[in-house]
Structure 1
Amino acid sequence: MRDFETTRRGALAAVAGLLATPALAQAWPDRPIRLVIPFPAGGPTDVYARFYAERMTAELGQSVVTENRGGAGGAIGAMEVARARPDGNTLLFGTASTHALYNLVTRQPQYDAAKDFQAVATLGGGPLCWLAHPGQPGTLADFLAKARTARPPLAYGSPGTGTLMHLATEILKREAGGVEINHIPYRGAAPAMNDLVAGTLALAVNTLGAGLALHQSGRARMLAVASAARAPQAPEVPTAAEALGRPGFTAVLWHAVFAPPGLPPAVLARLSAATNAALSDAAFRTRLNAAGIEPAAPGTPGSAAAYIAAEQARYRPIVEAIRPELDA
């Protein structure tokens, strides 16, 4: 009898939980939502996150408040969200760095990008571009030809070792036949851009949005953009695939929204639907394009997780190839 009573109570509790899920979805969000940006203010991730928060505030009828929690290459902010209550009130504006590259480049990672988060949606992001000093050759093909014979070797600057910009440029070098261009890691993109304009660097890599002003002012020349098609903001610049003759070559500093694991399915579904509504809005997409951001197509949490896993698999070979540099 006692076993029967225990079973009955367990069944009633389970049913109550199922009945509570729609109620939770209807009640949520009942207070402001915290969107953690795991990088300092002012960068491309911060810009997109604030656009997204503004749009989601309108979609959900509740304030979405951004909070910058930079440090350790995004790991500090990411871990804070992973440990938060899975109630939909704390979200992470993650990136390729925090969820495709972190577990690849970090020898002792403090979180598992797949297991410690619930993917909500991929949002698209900024395609990378390569910019040369105006005194360098004006096309990527000519720049690479010069690099093959330059002694000492030419150098390129990135925002840091193990960043997407670094890894994508190493892939570009291999796609170009293994050309030698030395890597100089900086503490962020801005110092690298300053040295490029000053002529200390021959080449630098950044996002399209960050590189457009330099290109348009003539202080640097954009040689290629790593998007699937030419960027409408700079249609004269070939894609990297065109310039290299390597169809399919792209590199995007993409963004995605994550929640702590264990998020109620109904809350996840509402978050996904609200994000898809934002990504389907023409005015929102136009605003992103103006900032050099390519928005993603609407999707599902499952498609987001699959995309992130594919990006990890894509960059794993280059990480293994340059492991000595990463560990230095």
Structure 2
Amino acid sequence: MTKQFTATTRRFMLAGLAASALCATSVLAQSAYPNRSILMVVPQAAGGTNDIVGRIVSQKLGEVLNTSVAVENRPGAGGNIGTQYAAKSAKDGYTLLMTISSSQAINPALYKNPGFDPVKDFKPVSLIGSVPNVLLAHPDFPANSIKDLIQMAKAKPNYYQYASAGNGTLNHLLGEMLNSMAGIDLQHVPYKGVAPALNDVLGGQLPMVFASLPASLSHIKAGKLKPLAVSSAKRSPALPDVPALAESVPGYRGTLWIGLFAPAGVPNDVLSKLQSGMTQALASKDVRDKLELQGVELAAPTTPEQFSVLLQDDMVMWARIVKSSGASID
């Protein structure tokens, strides 16, 4: 009886030890982040500024974290579809959101129900940089500077037009900001995307358009469009001879920033690894060179807390501009 009891007890003890070892191994595997590939959701179409930046950064981040980081485009509804997907994904650090300020800071004011809360549903990982827009004119347009344009627009109110990628887009709201701050009334002509808007300005059907620097740099270099000003607070290193709009309209600031977010609820240790990984990736010379070649102005080292403040400040600024413009999409 004692021998049988001892043998049974031994079997239970061995089984318990095996289960404990298996559990410990499982916990260790879960904590060894990352132990599988990471998905980086880009809520814009392939070939755009955010997609280009995402693919450059994802490759280096994968090298730093010793895993693969795959970019997946989920465009639609101004970025809302991909952003909603990322917000609802598992809170384990294996689905991230590479997005732009127009989706994260403007859409909450533009849509009655964008399907996500940019502050409550996400945690900032890393601010990557910013991309200025350029106010471009057809070469035959008589204005050669913002001062010329303001003077002409005041002499002929409601006469001059500018194209945009659509109602409520960043390049639409940049024009509305210029109208408000300069006391003029340029007429907005929305298109379905920046490409057709650029094409009509290239063809002379409309005189002006706001477009991102990466999308317009080749046209500027070829002399097909003339830049009147960049929308950033300071001149762009990619176009050092083109003045900032703020030089003529003090306080004007309208850049498109790009940043990486994780869904809220991701463990702090995972967030720390992602933040450290992005710091190393963005410090790499080859990444910086590639981004700067695309016209991206790399951000100074920024903490997640500082990035969060930037997001919330921009949400307040763009909500005011959206309200004054009357833009709404539902």
TM-score (norm 1): 0.88
Q: CA deviation at 1:30?
A: 0.7
Q: Give a deviation string over 1:13-62, Cα, whole Å, max 9, x none.
A: xxxxxx99x95785111111000111110111111111111111121111
Q: CA deviation at 1:300?
A: 2.3
Return the match for 1:326 from 308, 325, 328. Answer: 328
Q: How many residues are matched?
A: 306
What amino acid is the match of 1:154? Y
Conserved? CA contact 1:131–1:223, under 8 Å: yes
Return the match for 1:190 from 185, 189, 195. Answer: 195
Q: C-alpha root-mean-square deviation of aligned residues, in Å?
A: 2.1
Structure 1 unaligned regions, length at least 5:
1-18
Matched ranges for 1:39-188 at <5 A: 39-136=44-141, 137-150=143-156, 153-176=159-182, 178-188=183-193
Q: CA deviation at 1:249?
A: 2.5
Q: Give a deviation string over 1:120-163, Cα, whole Å, max 9, x none.
A: 12211211110011111211211222222237611101111111
1:293 paired with 2:296, answer yes
Off by >6 Å, runs of 4+ in structure 1: none
**Distance in 2 separating the partners of 1:211 and 1:250:** 19
**Distance in 2 separating the partners of 1:322 and 1:110:** 22
Give the corresponding residue for 1:277: 280
Conserved? CA contact 1:280–1:297, under 8 Å: no
**Distance in 1 separating the partners of 2:35 and 2:29:** 10
Q: CA deviation at 1:299?
A: 2.2
What amino acid is the match of 2:108? N
1:266 paired with 2:272, answer no
Task: Tell me the percent identity.
Answer: 35
Matched ranges for 1:292-311 at <5 A: 292-311=295-314
Which protein shows a greater Rg?
2
Give the corresponding residue for 1:209: 214
Distance of aligned partners of 1:98 and 1:24 in 2 relative to their CA distance in 1, 3 Å threshold: farther
- Secondary structure at 1:326 match in 2: coil
**Distance in 2 separating the partners of 1:167 and 1:122:** 22
TM-score (norm 2): 0.87
Structure 2 unaligned regions, length at least 5:
1-23
- Secondary structure at 2:248 match in 1: helix
Q: CA deviation at 1:64?
A: 0.5
